[in-house]
Amino acid sequence: MTPLTLAGIRPYLTLFGPAVPHAGGAAPAVVAALAFSGDKPATHGFGTIEQKEPPRARITARAVGPGNALATRTAVVSVGLKTTRGYALLSWEAGSD
């Protein structure tokens, strides 16, 4: 895979999503890629009672500080869990832009 190809697909890669993306939550590029490959996105289990895994979210925060300092933090969380906080932190990335 070339660096250019990886850069193009990077926003759509995840370690925490389902093996087959859900039609209601997949980006248009993902739905188009599945159609091109002959696969179909899942049409059930997204936001329904039948969902077996708790929903996951990727949250990215960017802050600007004194002297044009930049900070970026990205968290992947599983929400709606039966924990005291109601979520579980799956991944935490710190970086700067």
Q: Is the pTM of this model over 0.85?
A: no
End-to-end CA distance of the chain: 25
3-state DSSP assignment of residue 91: strand
Q: How far apart are CA 50 and CA 41, in angstroms?
A: 16
In which band, very low, low, confident or very high, does the pLDDT at 81 lie, cut at 50, 70 and 90?
low
The DSSP bridge partners found for residue 63 are 71
Give pLDDT, residue 43: 58
